[in-house]
Amino acid sequence: MNWETVIGLEIHAQLATRSKIFSSAPTAYGAAPNTQANLVDLGYPGVLPVLNRSAVQMAVKFGLAVGADIAARSVFARKNYFYPDLPKGYQISQYEKPIVERGSLQIVLEDGERKTIGITRAHLEEDAGKSLHEDFHGLTGIDLNRAGTPLLEIVSEPDMRSAREAVAYMKKIHTLVRYLEICDGNMQEGSFRCDANVSVRPLGQSKFGTRCEIKNLNSFRYIEKAINHEVARQIEIIEGGGTIRQETRLYDPDKDETRALRSKEEANDYRYFPDPDLLPVVLDPSFIEQVRISLPELPDQKAARYLEQFGLSAYDAGILTASREMGDYYEAVLAALGAEHGGGHEKLAANWIMGELSAALNKDGLEIARSRVDARRLAGLLERIVDGTISGKIAKEVFEAMWADGLDADAVIEAKGLRQITDTAAIETVIESVMAANPKQLAEYRSGKDKLFGFFVGQVMKATGGKANPAQLNELLKKKLAG
C-alpha cells in the first residue's frame, strides 16, 4: 500500500523583547539560575501580570508579514496543567481569540516547485522554566529564568507531505522572524524550536490518520530525521495490524528514534478559561498601521528585486536573501563598487559572496556579520579583478591573505608582487621560451593535437607565477603556436 504523510508544525519563536511578557524581569540568556525571575514569574499570590507592549508589536509584525488577519480584540487564557517548572500551575496563553489568524507562506522545494503552507494562527504566550537534572544526584533542580519569556507560537495547517517540506517551511519562518528582528532564531539556546504533528494515511484517503506530536525539536537536521523515523514507525505498526495511539513523543538523536512521553492531551484537558488578571488586547487600527509601516523589505520581496534589478538567477537570489545580514552585505559590496564598477558586476559580487566568502565563514564558524573581510574590502578586491590588476585565480590567493591578515587587497597585491602581467612583449617572451623548451609538444600541437593548448597555457602560467593576463595569454599563444 502507498502511504501519504501529513505534517503540521507548531513553531515556538522566542520574541526579542528586553523584558518578559508579563513582568519587568530581563530575558537575557545565560545568567545564573533563578537570577532573572521576579515575583510575577515565581507565581507569588497577589501579584498581577502586566502585558509587554513590545511583544504585541512583534506579534502584529509577524502577522502582517504573512498576510494574516490581525485581531482587533484578542484574549489571554489560562492553560491549566501541572509542570514543576511552572509555579502558577497554569500557563498564560491565547486560545479562542489569538492575535493572529489565517496567514500563509510560500516555500520553494528542491525541484523548484513552489508550495503554499497555511498558517492557522499565531498566538502569544509565556514560556515555562527549565528542569535541571545534571549535578543533582537523583534530584531535579528548577531554573525559572526562562519562565515568563514571551513566545509566539506559530501553528501551521497540516499542509506538509514530507520531512523535507517541513524543514523548508521551518527554515522559511526562521528567515522571516530574523528579517523582522522579532526573534534571534538561536536554535541551540532554544529561541526557535518546534513541535511536529505527524500522521500517515493511505494515499488518496481524505480522512486524517491518528497523529503523534514530537516535542521540542531545535535542529533542522533533527526535525527531518525525527519525522522520517516517526513516519516509518507508524507505517510499520499499521501494516503489522496495529493502531496508532495519539500521544506526545520525544526524539532521541543518539538512537535516531522517537519514544512515547505521555498520551496526547485534548484542549478540554487544559480547562482553558480567560485570565481574569488580564484585560482583552484591543488594537487600534492606527497602531496596526504604524507596525505595517515599520516592516522591512521581506525576503521574497528582496529576492524578486534581485532577479529584476541585478539579473540574478532565482537560486542566487534565494541564497543572498537567506538572511537579512547576507542581503545587506551583498548590497554594501555593490554600493562600494559604485557606478564605475557596480553596473554589470552584480553576478561577480554574488559569486564571491556565495563562493570564497561563504567557504571562509563556514570554515571558521562565523556569521557574515562577523566576517573578517568586510563589504568595503571585498569590493576593493573585486575592483582589482574588474580593472585587470589581478586575475580571478590570483584573486583567490589575495582573498586568503586578506582573510588571514586583515589587509586590503591593494596592500596584499603590492606586498606579494601579484600584479597581473599585461605587457604584451613580456608575455610573448615567456611563450617563446616555453615553446623552445617543449619541441615535441609543439610539433604534436601543430600536427593537429589541439588539446595540447591547455598544456602550453599551464606552462606559461607556471613560468609567470600565474600572473599572466589570461585573455591576453590565450590570444598571443594561439598566434605563436600557429607559427
pLDDT of residue 138: 83
| C-alpha span between 479 and 456 (Å, rounded) | 13
Average pLDDT, rounded, for the chain: 92
pLDDT of residue 94: 97
Residue 119 vs residue 460, higher pLDDT:
119
Strand ranges (E), 127-275: 130-132, 141-143, 150-156, 192-202, 212-217, 247-252, 257-263, 273-274
**Which of the residue ranges 185-189, 215-219, 259-263 would you say has the lowest mean pLDDT?**
259-263
Cα–chain center distance at 191: 13
What φ, ψ does residue 352 adopt, rounded to 5°? -70, -35
- Containing 268, the helix (H) or strand (E) segment is none
Nearest to 321 by CA among 296, 288, 292: 296
Give bridge partners of residue 194 from the DSSP assignment.
11, 217
Kind of pairing between the strands at 247-252 and 212-217: parallel
Name the range with the highest mean pLDDT among 60-69, 127-136, 427-436.
Answer: 60-69
| C-alpha span between 316 and 211 (Å, rounded) | 38
Residue 135 clears pLDDT 80, i.e. is over it: no
Nearest to 402 by CA among 379, 368, 422: 379
| C-alpha span between 239 and 254 (Å, rounded) | 27
Residue 279 clears pLDDT 70, i.e. is over it: yes
Residue 340 clears pLDDT 70, i.e. is over it: no
State the amino acid at position 77 in one-letter form. A
Residue 268 vs residue 453, higher pLDDT:
453
Residue 73 clears pLDDT 90, i.e. is over it: yes
Percent of the chain predicted with pLDDT > 70:
98
The structure's pTM equals: 0.85
pLDDT of residue 296: 95
Name the range with the highest mean pLDDT among 331-340, 374-383, 459-468.
Answer: 374-383
Residue 265 clears pLDDT 80, i.e. is over it: no
pLDDT of residue 248: 92
| C-alpha span between 48 and 278 (Å, rounded) | 8
pLDDT digits (tens, 9 = 90+) for 6-39: 999 999 999 999 999 999 999 988 899 999 999 9
Domains of the chain (ranges; CATH) run 3-288 (no CATH), 307-416 (no CATH), 424-482 (1.10.10.410)
Residue 144 clears pLDDT 70, i.e. is over it: yes
Cell 497577589 -> residue: 46
Nearest to 378 by CA among 340, 344, 335: 335
Percent of the chain predicted with pLDDT > 90:
72
pLDDT of residue 171: 95
| C-alpha span between 317 and 311 (Å, rounded) | 9
| C-alpha span between 166 and 214 (Å, rounded) | 13
Structural contact between residues 445 and 483, judged by C-beta atoms closer than 8 angstroms: no
Model confidence at 262, pLDDT cuts 50, 70, 90, reads confident
What φ, ψ does residue 77 adopt, rounded to 5°? -125, 165
pLDDT of residue 468: 86
Q: How many CB atoms lie within 10 A of CB 16?
A: 19
Taking residues 97-110, what's their average pLDDT?
A: 94
Structural contact between residues 202 and 2, judged by C-beta atoms closer than 8 angstroms: yes
Q: How many CB atoms lie within 10 A of CB 186?
A: 13
State the amino acid at position 174 in one-letter form. H
The C-alpha cell at 254 is: 543518539
Model confidence at 342, pLDDT cuts 50, 70, 90, reads low
